[in-house]
Amino acid sequence: MKKYPNIYFHVFLSTNNFNGAQEFYELDNPNLEKIKSDIILPFVLKQQFSLQGQVIDPKEVTRIMLRESQLPTAMIMSKVEHDHEPAPWTAQTVIFHQGYTKDFSTYILNLGKRIADGGMLALLLMKDSLAI
| pTM check: above 0.85 | no
46-65 tens-digit pLDDT: 332 223 333 444 445 444 44
- The reply to whether 1 falls in a domain is no
In a domain, 56, yes or no: yes
- Greater model confidence, 51 or 99: 99
Whether 81 and 90 have beta carbons less than 8 Å apart is answered as: no
**Is the residue at 124 inside a domain?**
yes
Look at residue 26 and tell me whether its pLDDT is greater than 50: no
Query: In the chain, how many domains are there?
Result: 1
Q: What would the mean pLDDT of 66-74 be, rounded to a whole number?
A: 46
Tell me the C-alpha distance between 50 and 39, whole Å: 31
Instruction: Decide if 90 is inside a domain.
Output: yes
Local confidence band at 86 (pLDDT 50, 70, 90 cut-offs): confident
Cβ–Cβ under 8 Å, residues 98 and 125: no
Please name every residue paired with 22 in a beta bridge, in sequence order, or none if there are none. 16
Q: Containing domain of residue 82, as a range?
A: 6-129
Gap between the Cα atoms of 104 and 37, Å rounded: 21
Which residues are registered as beta bridge partners of 29? Answer: 9
Q: What is the pLDDT of residue 44?
A: 29
